[in-house]
Structure 1
Amino acid sequence: MEAEEKKVDKKKDSILKDVLDMLLYFGTVMLVVLIIYNFVGQQVEVNGSSMENTLKNEDRLILEKISYRFNDPERFDIVVFRPYEEYKDEYYIKRIIGLPGETIQIIGNKIYIDGEVLEEDYGNEPMRDPGMAEEPIVMGEDEYFVLGDNRNHSTDSRYEVGKVKREAIIGRTFARIWPLSEMEILKHQ
């Protein structure tokens, strides 16, 4: 009888150990996923046409968060940011045009940075409305001016989004992973 009780006790101990091992495994996996999601990168989906022809509605992208921990965003980077502090779950994807300390103005479909025409060809058609940038806009410390590549169909720094603070930028787009036929590493410069 004692031998049977010892077998039952060993079996219970073995089951308990297996359950604890499984919980430890899943806990470790969840911790790694949370660390990657919060500090390394995440998947994002394009919602809308404001970045066409570069990015299309429903494209899926990998957003990397590491480089901006060590370097500042650069002109022409495609970034994901929170446009409004009160809406924590709303994200925009736009291209950085103006950097901290610069003066931005749009005159006759041309973008001027500190009085010099910006040579770029990301806009997919002539810009019809300069919005607030019809008058010079001075970027403060840690402020960026962003535009969608589909300039006539984009809510960006010309309108209510205004200047984007550095702390609102979540990361830089790294790669398009969907659709598979358009999978690529995204170019920023």
Structure 2
Amino acid sequence: MNKENMKMEILDLNNEEDTKTTDEMEPKKPEEKTSPVKEILSWVLTIAFAIVAAILIKNYVIINANIPSGSMENTIQIGDDIFGFRLAYTFSDPKRGDIVIFNAPDSPSEKYIKRVIGLPGETVTIEDGKVYIDGEALEEDYLKSNQSGEDAWTVNAGPYEFKVPQDSYLLLGDNRNGSSDARVWEHTYVSKDDILAKAIFRYYPFDRFGAVK
């Protein structure tokens, strides 16, 4: 066999059938259509997941509070809607000045919102509308009663002395003339276990939208 015949035989092996790809040789499968049942099930599962997530967030992460009284004016107004963070004190303790939502000491089924004033182990005294922590005056620029005239702190303005237990906190409202708080409660102090959340954000009304502090 001469060289020309050998070349022809090699070229003949590379015909069109041999150059087709596997994908071209296999028939295409028809596209699968999602059945109505599967689609409905997908929506049901999505909605169920969203509901469960909302319940978990509401019960374990965020507390939503509407303010019914003026005990925290002017910091928080009647009708304000507040978010509280339930996990704020999971790995830390409340600090002086924090605004907290808690079970009312004399009526645990009710929820109150006040400011942390006295910390565990401290002696808090009130004299003539002034708060002292272990003998040192406390600066309170958030008080409504910092103003003169009819807004001056004159109601339950002292003298009082509180020795805060090691496991508890002393809480007062910012509107000292209009707040039911540690000065009048039968059960004076609030334990950490009864503090439900730290108030962190006001989302309504929109003109006061922002952090609570």
Q: Same fold (TM over 0.5)?
A: yes
User: What SS class does the counterpart of residue 136 from structure 1 fall into?
Assistant: strand
Q: CA offset at residue 119 of structure 1? A: 1.7
Give the partner amino acid of 1:167. Answer: D
Structure 2: how far apart are the matches of 1:27 and 1:116?
Answer: 55
Q: CA offset at residue 46 of structure 1? A: 0.9
Q: In 2, are the aligned partners of 1:106 and 1:130 still within 8 Å (CA)?
A: no
Q: Name 2:163's counterpart in structure 1.
A: 138
Q: CA offset at residue 130 of structure 1? A: 3.6
Structure 1: how far apart are the matches of 2:56 and 2:130?
Answer: 42
User: What SS class does the counterpart of residue 63 from structure 1 fall into?
Assistant: strand
Structure number with larger C-alpha Rg? 2
Structure 1: how far apart are the matches of 2:160 and 2:69?
Answer: 28
Superposition RMSD on alpha carbons, in Å?
A: 2.2
**Among 52, 64, 68, the residue aligned to 2:89:** 68
User: What SS class does the counterpart of residue 140 from structure 2 fall into?
Assistant: coil
1:49-82 CA distances to partner (integer Å, 9 max, x unpaired)?
Answer: 1111111000111111222111111001111111
Q: Which moved more, 1:37-46 or 1:169-178?
A: 37-46
Structure 2: how far apart are the matches of 1:67 and 1:173?
Answer: 9
Identity %: 36
**Among 174, 184, 192, the residue aligned to 1:149:** 174
Q: CA offset at residue 86 of structure 1? A: 5.3
Unaligned 5+ segments in structure 1 are: 1-13
Q: CA offset at residue 117 of structure 1? A: 1.3
User: What SS class does the counterpart of residue 89 from structure 2 fall into?
Assistant: helix
Unaligned 5+ segments in structure 2 are: 1-34, 146-151
Q: CA offset at residue 145 of structure 1? A: 0.8
User: What SS class does the counterpart of residue 69 from structure 1 fall into?
Assistant: coil
Structure 1: how far apart are the matches of 2:70 and 2:106?
Answer: 23
Alignment: residue pair count: 174
Q: In 2, are the aligned partners of 1:44 and 1:63 still within 8 Å (CA)?
A: yes
Runs of 4+, deviation exceeding 3 Å: 14-23, 84-87
Change (3 A) 1:48 1:66: same
Structure 2: how far apart are the matches of 1:121 and 1:46?
Answer: 21
Structure 2: how far apart are the matches of 1:85 and 1:158?
Answer: 13
Structure 1: how far apart are the matches of 2:39 and 2:73?
Answer: 52
User: What SS class does the counterpart of residue 121 from structure 2 fall into?
Assistant: coil
Q: Name 2:27's counterpart in structure 1.
A: none
Q: Name 1:7's counterpart in structure 2.
A: none
Q: Within the alignment, does 1:117 sit opposite 2:134 as a pair?
A: no
1:114-162 CA distances to partner (integer Å, 9 max, x unpaired)?
Answer: 122112222211332447x634211112211111111010001111152
Q: CA offset at residue 16 of structure 1? A: 4.6
Q: Within the alignment, does 1:172 sit opposite 2:198 as a pair?
A: yes
